[in-house]
């Protein structure tokens, strides 16, 4: 197979591992920086140009599109889809999962357990909104944040009001969420490929930190998940339309609740804590599923 990995940086652990796994399995692989692509949008013969060459005859793409380049990155991916190239995660699914509010609405509609979540535009509604999610302590999130940036725990109603007003004055879109205290600063990352959780880890925030993100100094250990957690993770990825996903769950008193579904889940933490060849499993999935023209969206949406 000829595989394009859409990534800004070939030195990143995840990108390197995917290249390595593809080469090991005898594939042709190229790392393509989406920001350096330019495209010709025509219905007769769409094309993508990169470093003085036309990207042709690819069988599959693995998008690793960072949150900061979602807009242009998904446009490049859509172009691959228009050309009939199979993408392990399609552009529409990536866009969907990037917007926390949109993702929550889609998951809730399909009956996935979520923390109680509120959203409003006008500052006048702050009071009601806080009540809606059960009062303080509560969690406030910027809609398009990642790596724990833009996620704040407000311990009191006063703190919550101040933070909500501050974010609003910056015109940031935010959501407000019930704080799942019993999770104890930990979450469960389920790495889903196709219809299986292939690896799972528990991430624990460092002392005094409620956010478990590894980027915030959290640590990861392999964890055994329950059948309910497994089923929830697989279902959440499927609803979002992602073939590869990092589904983050919190262990709440009411069972697993989904916090987010990541479309470009990192490989470093999960491979190191579980000692599994997740990159190899991604390539294996492509070998079984990448068929020309097998894209649901053909660049729509
Ligand atoms: P990001 O996309 O920035 O990673 P998340 O929504 O995943 O944002 O939140 C970051 C971390 O904060 C989570 O991994 C979790 O540990 C903690 N967290 C987020 N929301 C809640 C919540 N409602 N209750 C308890 N902890 C939470
Ligand atoms: Mg997260």
What is the spatial distance between Cα 74 and Cα 66, in angstroms, rounded to a whole number? 10
Domains and CATH numbers, the chain: 2-95 (3.40.50.20), 117-179 (3.30.1490.20), 182-284 (3.30.470.20)
Whether the link from the prior residue into 137 is cis, omega within 30° of 0, is yes
Q: In angstroms, what is the span from residue 259 Cα to ligand 1's centroid?
A: 7
Ligand sitting nearest the alpha carbon of 99: 1
Q: Which two tokens stand for residue 183?
A: 């999770």
- Would you call 249 exposed, middle or buried from its count of C-beta atoms within 10 A (0-12, 13-18, 19+)? buried
The ligand 1 atom at the shortest distance from the C-alpha of residue 187 is 16
Q: In angstroms, what is the span from residue 189 Cα to ligand 2's centroid?
A: 9
Element of type H or E holding 226 = none
The pTM score is 0.92
Tens-binned pLDDT, residue by residue, of the chain (301 aa) = 999 999 999 999 999 999 999 999 999 999 999 999 999 888 788 899 999 999 999 999 999 998 889 999 999 999 999 999 999 999 999 999 988 889 999 999 999 999 999 987 776 778 888 999 999 999 999 887 778 888 999 999 999 999 998 988 888 888 999 999 999 999 999 999 999 999 999 999 999 999 999 889 999 999 999 999 999 999 999 999 999 999 999 999 999 999 999 999 999 999 999 999 999 999 999 999 998 766 665 545 4
Q: In angstroms, what is the span from residue 211 Cα to ligand 2's centroid?
A: 8
Q: Which residues line ligand 1 (CB under 6 A)?
A: 115, 139, 141, 145-149, 151, 177-180, 183, 187, 205, 210-213, 248, 250, 259-260
3-state helix, strand, coil in the chain (%, to 5): 35, 25, 35
Q: In angstroms, what is the span from residue 172 Cα to ligand 2's centroid?
A: 18
What is the spatial distance between Cα 282 and Cα 278, in angstroms, rounded to a whole number? 6
Q: In angstroms, what is the span from residue 155 Cα to ligand 1's centroid?
A: 15
What is the spatial distance between Cα 99 and Cα 88, in angstroms, rounded to a whole number? 19
**22: Cβ–Cβ under 8 A, 6 or more apart, which residues?**
1, 3, 5, 28, 29, 283
* CA nearest ligand 1 atom 13, residue: 211
Mutate to test the pocket of ligand 1, among 183, 211, 260 (most ligand atoms within 8 A of CB): 211
Ligand sitting nearest the alpha carbon of 212: 1
């Amino acid at each position: 197979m000829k595989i394009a990995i859409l990534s800004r940086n070939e030195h990143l652990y995840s990108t390197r591992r995917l290249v390595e796994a593809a080469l090991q399995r005898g594939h042709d692989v190229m790392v393509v920086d989406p920001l350096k692509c330019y495209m010709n949008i025509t219905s007769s013969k769409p094309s993508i140009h990169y470093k003085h060459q036309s990207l042709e005859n690819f069988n599959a793409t693995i998008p690793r599109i960072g949150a900061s380049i979602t807009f242009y990155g998904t446009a490049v991916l859509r172009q691959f889809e228009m050309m009939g190239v199979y993408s392990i995660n399609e552009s529409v699914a990536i866009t969907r999962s990037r917007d926390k509010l949109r993702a929550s609405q889609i998951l809730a509609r399909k009956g996935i357990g979520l923390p109680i979540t509120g959203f409003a535009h006008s500052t006048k509604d702050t009071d009601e909104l806080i009540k809606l999610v059960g009062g303080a302590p509560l969690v406030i999130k910027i809609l398009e944040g990642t790596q724990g940036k833009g996620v704040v725990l407000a311990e009191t109603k006063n703190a919550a009001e101040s933070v909500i007003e501050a974010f609003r004055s910056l015109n940031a879109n935010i959501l407000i969420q019930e704080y799942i205290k019993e999770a104890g600063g930990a979450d469960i990352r389920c790495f889903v490929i196709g219809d299986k959780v292939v690896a799972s880890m528990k991430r624990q925030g460092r002392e005094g930190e409620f956010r478990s993100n590894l980027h915030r100094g959290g640590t990861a250990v392999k964890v055994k998940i329950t059948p309910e957690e497994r089923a929830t993770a697989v279902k959440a990825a499927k609803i979002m339309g992602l073939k590869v996903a990092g589904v983050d769950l919190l262990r709440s008193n009411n069972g697993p609740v989904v916090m987010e579904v990541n479309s470009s889940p990192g490989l470093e933490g999960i491979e190191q804590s579980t000692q599994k060849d997740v990159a190899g499993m991604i390539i294996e999935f492509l070998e079984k599923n990448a068929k020309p023209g097998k894209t649901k969206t053909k660049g729509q949406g």
